[in-house]
């Protein structure tokens, strides 16, 4: 008989606990549930139409009536919330992005329709100007193309108020302007929207993983060779993310978000450990596209989808925006 030294082999045989499903289940730390999922949805003008997004196989842009069908299914599956992304026709885009706050704009109509039909389904709107600007930037630009901070924040406030007016439960500024959370919170409070939650895209990186999204909403063409380095964060940085989160919380954010997901899980962990607030992750379009491409080619098994989401949760996410939400919810309910 070998001598048993506590904590050492053969006293310690970690495989004992992995031997059977019952003990694997008992020691499992993280569980992915339908409660963790938020479905992003692309909305287009028109009736009875769904358009495939080429770089995101399985994802479609929906007219509002089709959006309602999707909402019905998501509500039935128990998905807590959806995040809406309107697609603006080129002729509705302008230098100042004024269509962003039209009371009867596509986003505003989509919110109203969804909240009327499925009051229990949370509706999150994107606060940023890129779908509405002719240059594809998230804000108002000067003659050199530099995105002006304070002028942009003033427009974001109008946009967020129009979303709240339409019934949005959560406004989610994805623009990365300085001081926008404080301005939004003050405007919401002083207009009696005291229940409107703010999900701040606090640590949003200037990432190449957004490519397919920009195709989906049609901002890629407008942006051209432009980039968003003067406001989105440098992928090299991590302390800066903590500073952004601290500022957004001080200014009144209810929830913070890290974006993209998979390559940024160290940031998720640092944010969750340091602030212990509701922390969300956006598994972005490029992460969706690469997994789908590999699955469709037979190079990866479909199991990578649930694994990727589980790992995001393990890193510290309380919830995940993912284009896989409906699919995963369907599987979890089966
Ligand atoms: C725009 C916005 C972007 C995404 C969400 N809101 C793109 C960008 O900043 O260029 C990306 C989402 C995704 O890639 O899935 N403010």
Instruction: Kindly state if the Cβ of 128 falls inside 6 Å of ligand 1.
Output: yes
Instruction: Kindly state if the Cβ of 205 falls inside 6 Å of ligand 1.
Output: no
- Give the ligand 1 atom nearest the CA of 131: 1
Give the integer Cα–Cα distance in Å for 219 and 212. Answer: 10
Q: Look at the chain and report how many structural domains it folds into.
A: 1
Tens digits of residue pLDDT in 165-191: 999 999 999 999 999 999 999 999 999
Residue keyed to tokens 């999204």: 213
* Confidence tier at 152 by pLDDT (50, 70, 90): very high
What spatial distance separates the first Cα and last Cα of the chain, rounded to whole Å? 49
Q: Are strands 60-63 and 50-52 parallel, antiparallel or unpaired?
A: antiparallel
Q: How far is CA 180 from CA 106, 183, 192, 226, in A?
A: 23, 5, 18, 23
Asked if residue 221 has pLDDT above 80, the reply is: no
What domain range is 37 assigned to? 30-333
Does residue 52 lie within any of the structural domains? yes
pLDDT at 220: 77
Q: Please confirm, yes or no, whether 204 is among the known catalytic residues.
A: yes
Say how many Å lie between the CA of residue 108 and the centre of ligand 1: 19
Give the integer Cα–Cα distance in Å for 83 and 168. Answer: 10
ipTM: 0.97
Instruction: Kindly state if the Cβ of 288 falls inside 6 Å of ligand 1.
Output: no
Does residue 122 lie within any of the structural domains? yes
Does residue 12 lie within any of the structural domains? no
Query: 300, 218, 207, 208: which is closest to 54 by C-alpha?
Result: 218
* Confidence tier at 1 by pLDDT (50, 70, 90): low
Please check whether residue 95 is in contact with residue 134, taking contact to mean a CB–CB distance below 8 angstroms.
yes
Does residue 15 lie within any of the structural domains? no
For atom 6 of ligand 1, the residue with the nearest CA is 174
Q: How far is CA 304 from CA 28, 69, 202, 270, 334, in A?
A: 18, 28, 27, 24, 18
Report the CATH number at residue 217.
Answer: 3.20.20.70
Give the integer Cα–Cα distance in Å for 146 and 177. Answer: 12
Give the integer Cα–Cα distance in Å for 143 and 30. Answer: 50
Give the integer Cα–Cα distance in Å for 86 and 41. Answer: 8
Instruction: Kindly state if the Cβ of 130 falls inside 6 Å of ligand 1.
Output: yes
Percent of the chain past pLDDT 70, that is, above it, reads 99
The answer to whether the peptide bond before residue 313 is cis (omega within 30 degrees of 0) is: no
Cα angle at 216 between 212 and 221, to 5 degrees?
Answer: 85
Q: Is 36 helix (H, G, I), strand (E, B) or coil?
A: helix
pLDDT at 2: 67
Annotated catalytic residue, options 115, 204, 228, 313 = 204
Instruction: Kindly state if the Cβ of 210 falls inside 6 Å of ligand 1.
Output: yes
Say how many Å lie between the CA of residue 214 and the centre of ligand 1: 7
Does residue 91 lie within any of the structural domains? yes
Weakest mean pLDDT among 212-216, 244-248, 256-260: 212-216
- Give the ligand 1 atom nearest the CA of 174: 16
* Confidence tier at 334 by pLDDT (50, 70, 90): confident
Give the integer Cα–Cα distance in Å for 118 and 122. Answer: 9
Say how many Å lie between the CA of residue 116 and the centre of ligand 1: 27
Does residue 48 lie within any of the structural domains? yes
Q: Which of 213, 219, 220, 291 to mutate to test the pocket of ligand 1 (most atoms within 8 A of CB)?
A: 213
Tens digits of residue pLDDT in 26-51: 999 999 999 999 999 999 999 999 99
Does residue 320 lie within any of the structural domains? yes
Instruction: Kindly state if the Cβ of 66 falls inside 6 Å of ligand 1.
Output: no
Annotated catalytic residue, options 93, 228, 259, 313 = 259
For atom 7 of ligand 1, the residue with the nearest CA is 210
Asked if residue 96 has pLDDT above 70, the reply is: yes
Question: What count of other Cβ atoms lies within 10 Å of the Cβ of residue 307?
Answer: 14
Q: What is the mean pLDDT of residues 265-276?
A: 98
Query: 281, 287, 296: which is closest to 212 by C-alpha?
Result: 287
Residue keyed to tokens 């989906």: 216
pLDDT at 13: 95
Task: Determine whether the annotation assigns residue 72 to a binding site.
Answer: no
Residue keyed to tokens 């089709």: 66
- Give the ligand 1 atom nearest the CA of 40: 15
Does residue 1 lie within any of the structural domains? no
pLDDT at 223: 86
Say how many Å lie between the CA of residue 26 and the centre of ligand 1: 39
Say how many Å lie between the CA of residue 210 and the centre of ligand 1: 6
**Model-level pTM?**
0.96
Residue keyed to tokens 């129009």: 162
Structure tokens at 261: 């997901």
Backbone φ and ψ for 255, nearest 5 degrees, come out as: -145, 150
Say how many Å lie between the CA of residue 129 and the centre of ligand 1: 11
Residue keyed to tokens 């019934």: 167
Residue keyed to tokens 């993310």: 241
């Amino acid at each position: 008989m070998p001598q048993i030294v506590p904590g050492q082999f053969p006293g310690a045989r970690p495989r004992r606990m992995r031997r059977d499903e019952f003990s694997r289940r008992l020691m499992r730390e993280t569980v992915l549930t339908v409660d963790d999922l938020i479905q992003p949805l692309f909305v287009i003008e028109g009736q009875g139409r769904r358009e495939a997004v080429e770089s995101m196989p399985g994802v479609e842009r929906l007219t509002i009536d089709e959006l309602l069908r999707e909402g019905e299914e998501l509500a039935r599956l128990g998905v807590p919330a959806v995040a809406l992304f309107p697609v603006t026709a080129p002729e509705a885009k302008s230098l100042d992005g004024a269509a962003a706050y039209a009371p009867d704009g596509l986003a505003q109509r989509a919110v109203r329709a969804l909240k009327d039909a499925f009051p229990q389904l949370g509706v999150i709107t994107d606060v940023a100007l890129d779908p509405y600007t002719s240059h594809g930037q998230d804000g108002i630009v000067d003659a050199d193309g530099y995105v002006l901070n304070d002028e942009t924040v003033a427009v974001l406030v109008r946009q967020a108020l129009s979303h709240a007016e339409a019934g949005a439960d959560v406004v989610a500024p994805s623009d990365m302007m300085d001081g926008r959370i404080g301005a939004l919170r003050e405007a919401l409070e002083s207009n009696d929207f005291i229940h409107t939650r703010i999900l701040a895209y606090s640590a949003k990186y200037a990432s190449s993983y957004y490519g397919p999204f920009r195709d989906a909403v049609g901002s890629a063409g407008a942006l051209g060779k432009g980039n968003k380095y003067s406001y989105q964060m440098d992928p090299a940085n991590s302390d800066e993310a903590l500073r952004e989160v601290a500022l957004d919380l001080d200014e009144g954010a209810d929830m913070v978000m890290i974006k993209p997901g998979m390559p940024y899980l160290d940031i998720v962990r640092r944010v969750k450990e340091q602030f212990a607030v509701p922390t969300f992750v956006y598994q972005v379009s490029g992460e969706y596209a690469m997994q789908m491409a590999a699955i469709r080619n037979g190079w990866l098994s479909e199991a990578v989808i649930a694994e990727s989401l589980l790992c995001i949760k393990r890193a510290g996410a309380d919830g995940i925006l993912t284009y896989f939400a409906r699919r995963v919810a369907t599987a979890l309910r089966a």
